[in-house]
């Protein structure tokens, strides 16, 4: 059982018994599964129906065309139906929790795809080739399968399975605006979000609940939960007249890996769009997005596993030889383990091949490595020039602590000039909104090595933030290729 943080404990002690239990749940909540996983499940389900039902109809209909023709038509139907469903938003995360909207979307998509097939057959002058009995049976089976599949999916997501996909959300504002938002979410039975609680600097946790939701205390409690990775979304539900306070909160939260939304002002609740309002649609405003989220996070993790797996396969023997060389060169462990700051400002143990004499190894980074550093061993000097000392970080990547490409992780307390990094750059913490990387944009621009001056750190952080805001798979590939060139040239490595 994990320990509740000190900033949260007073709220637990002052709240009612029910509220205290809710707060304990907040502290122990596991991260949800990525929303794209639910969308992918829906996509696979629809593809199975569109691709399989025409063959089932062929087994039942006496006039069915040959299996090769059925296969071609099934593939065309699958492409048309999935494309139409995607355009209709049938794979959007919030929609997957709403049975009625899913059914209507899939009826439109499936019906449209079938109509296009029938129209194409008519225009080509070969409608008889479709075999009327088979075509009618396939159409009924496809539409029925799409509807039943989505009804079953909505039912599954409405239970315990759906809770694993719901985004953990905290509402900022316990006043009238926050109460109205919570009331509307309850009326709409919005299950794509899981409201953990309400925070407000002016609220007293002893009040217990707001519209049945626990009061967690001041905004400081929210920041503690965000730093612990217990929150996915934050919704600011305050009167828009409090412009300065809202902007301050947005500015603070934008440095953390959470989605930040702005709820409508009070008058807007009288005019919801078609009677519906949710955290993922109009008129809630997205004011700060979590970088590399949604499908992009799935692609990024797939890239890490693929590149990391290939890297381990190719480098296993060289890594074993390096380990032997280190042991023969000087006494001490093969690996150097050092605390670094990673995703969401959390520490992790980064792995490197040991390049210094064991009794001189620097774990606290009070003194950065310099050229011709006497602490560096003979083998270590070669490893540093070739950057081979970084190879064990492949295990950090496969464990999910690091990424192949991203901002390089720094050790706690590292300084630029005479000041800690976080004192030099205001938005230094924003680079921790993504996982640290084995290489990064700053490194391929030559901004690596020791940071003797504050200007070097500023330019490095600027590159890191640029990478975070403009991430793409193609940019990652370009950075990897440039990294290989730099490694082969042994440029700026020591």
Contact 118, 124 (CB under 8 A): no
Angle at 293 between CA 443 and CA 172, to 5 degrees: 115
The pLDDT mean for the chain works out to 81
Contact 216, 174 (CB under 8 A): no
Name, in order, each residue with C-beta under 8 angstroms of 13's C-beta and a sequence gap of 6 or more: 20
pLDDT at 410: 85
* Percent of all residues in the chain with a pLDDT value above 90, rounded to a whole number: 30
CA quadruple 376, 381, 384, 388: dihedral sign: negative
Task: Write down the architecture of domain 9-32+166-288 according to CATH.
Answer: 3-Layer(aba) Sandwich (3.40)
What is the CB-side half-sphere exposure of residue 295 using CA atoms within 13 A? Answer: 7
What is the CB-side half-sphere exposure of residue 365 using CA atoms within 13 A? Answer: 20
3-state secondary structure of 490: coil
Name, in order, each residue with C-beta under 8 angstroms of 362's C-beta and a sequence gap of 6 or more: 356, 369, 375
Backbone angles phi, psi at 384, to 5 degrees: -70, -40
Per residue in 368-423, pLDDT tens? 555 667 788 888 888 888 889 999 999 999 999 999 999 999 887 777 767 777 77
3-state secondary structure of 386: helix
Assign residue 150 a region (left: φ > 0; alpha: ψ between -120 and 50; beta: otherwise).
alpha
Q: What is the mean pLDDT of residues 143-164?
A: 86
Cα separation, 161 vs 38, in Å, equals 10
Better pLDDT: 43 or 122: 43
Which pLDDT band, with edges at 50, 70 and 90, does 3 fall under? Answer: very low
Question: Taking the chain, what is the end-to-end CA distance rounded to the nearest angstrom?
Answer: 44
Q: What is the mean pLDDT of residues 166-180?
A: 87
pTM: 0.75
Angle at 224 between CA 398 and CA 417, to 5 degrees: 70
Q: From residue 407, how far is each of 99, 425, 470 by CA, in Å? A: 42, 15, 13
Which pLDDT band, with edges at 50, 70 and 90, does 16 fall under? Answer: very low
pLDDT at 20: 39
Cα separation, 238 vs 203, in Å, equals 13
pLDDT at 436: 94
Residue 216: pLDDT over 70: yes
Cα separation, 237 vs 234, in Å, equals 9
Quickly count: other Cβ atoms within 10 Å of residue 1's Cβ: 6
Quickly count: other Cβ atoms within 10 Å of residue 42's Cβ: 23
Q: What is the mean pLDDT of residues 3-32?
A: 43
Long-range contacts of 448-455 (CB under 8 A, 24+ apart): 448/408, 448/492, 448/493, 449/492, 449/493, 449/494, 450/368, 450/369, 450/370, 451/368, 451/414, 451/415, 451/416, 451/417, 451/421, 452/416, 452/417, 453/416, 453/417, 454/416, 454/417, 454/419, 454/424
Contact 405, 480 (CB under 8 A): yes
Domain segments of the chain: what residues? 9-32+166-288, 35-157, 295-489
Per residue in 85-123, pLDDT tens? 998 888 888 888 888 888 999 999 999 999 888 887 777
Per residue in 291-309, pLDDT tens? 888 888 889 999 999 999 9
Name, in order, each residue with C-beta under 8 angstroms of 473's C-beta and a sequence gap of 6 or more: 299, 300, 303
Cα separation, 14 vs 204, in Å, equals 9
Q: What is the mean pLDDT of residues 13-39?
A: 57
Backbone angles phi, psi at 55, to 5 degrees: -75, -35
Nearest alpha carbon to residue 93 among 169, 6, 148: 169
């Amino acid at each position: 059982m994990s320990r509740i943080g000190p900033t949260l404990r007073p709220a637990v002690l002052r709240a009612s018994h029910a509220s205290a239990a809710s707060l304990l749940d907040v502290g122990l909540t596991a991260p949800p599964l990525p929303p794209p996983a639910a969308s992918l499940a829906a996509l696979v389900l629809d593809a199975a129906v569109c691709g399989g039902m025409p063959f089932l109809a062929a087994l039942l209909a006496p006039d069915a065309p040959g299996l090769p023709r059925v296969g071609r038509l099934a593939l065309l139907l699958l492409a048309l139906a999935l494309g139409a469903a995607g355009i209709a938003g049938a794979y959007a995360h919030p929609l997957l929790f709403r049975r009625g909207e899913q059914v209507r979307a899939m009826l439109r998509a499936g019906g449209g795809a079938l109509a296009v097939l029938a129209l194409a057959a008519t225009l080509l002058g070969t409608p008889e080739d479709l075999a009327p009995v088979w075509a009618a049976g396939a159409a009924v089976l496809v539409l029925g399968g799409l509807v039943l599949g989505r009804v079953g999916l909505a039912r599954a997501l409405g239970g315990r399975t759906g809770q694993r996909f719901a985004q953990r959300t905290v509402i900022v504002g316990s006043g009238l605006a926050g109460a109205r938002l919570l009331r509307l979410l309850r009326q709409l039975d919005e299950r794509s979000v899981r409201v953990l609680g309400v925070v407000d600097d002016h609220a007293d946790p002893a009040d217990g609940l707001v519209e049945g939701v626990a009061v967690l205390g001041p905004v400081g409690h929210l920041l503690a939960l965000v730093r612990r990775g217990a929150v996915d979304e934050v919704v600011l539900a305050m009167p828009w007249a409090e412009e300065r306070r809202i902007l301050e909160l947005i500015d603070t939260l934008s440095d953390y890996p959470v989605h930040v939304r702005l709820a409508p002002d009070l008058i807007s609740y009288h005019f919801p769009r078609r009677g519906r309002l949710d955290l993922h649609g109009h008129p809630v405003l997205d004011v700060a997005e979590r970088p590399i989220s949604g499908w992009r996070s799935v692609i990024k993790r797939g890239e890490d596993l693929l590149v990391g797996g290939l890297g381990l396969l190719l480098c296993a023997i060289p890594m074993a030889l390096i380990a032997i060389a280190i042991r023969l060169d000087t006494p001490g462990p093969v690996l150097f383990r050092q605390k670094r700051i990673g995703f969401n400002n959390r520490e992790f143990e980064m792995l490197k091949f040991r390049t210094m004499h064991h009794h001189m190894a620097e774990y606290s980074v009070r003194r950065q490595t310099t050229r011709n550093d006497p602490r560096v061993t003979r083998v270590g000097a070669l490893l540093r020039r070739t950057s081979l000392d970084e190879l064990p970080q492949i295990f950090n990547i496969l464990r999910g602590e690091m990424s192949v490409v991203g901002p390089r992780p720094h050790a706690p307390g590292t300084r630029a000039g005479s000041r800690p990094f976080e004192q030099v750059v205001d938005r230094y913490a924003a680079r921790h909104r993504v996982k640290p990387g084995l290489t990064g944009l700053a490194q391929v621009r030559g901004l690596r090595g020791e940071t003797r001056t504050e200007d070097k750190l500023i330019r490095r952080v600027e590159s890191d933030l640029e990478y975070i805001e403009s991430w793409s798979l193609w940019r990652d590939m370009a950075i990897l290729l440039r990294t290989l060139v730099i490694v082969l040239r042994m440029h700026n490595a020591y």
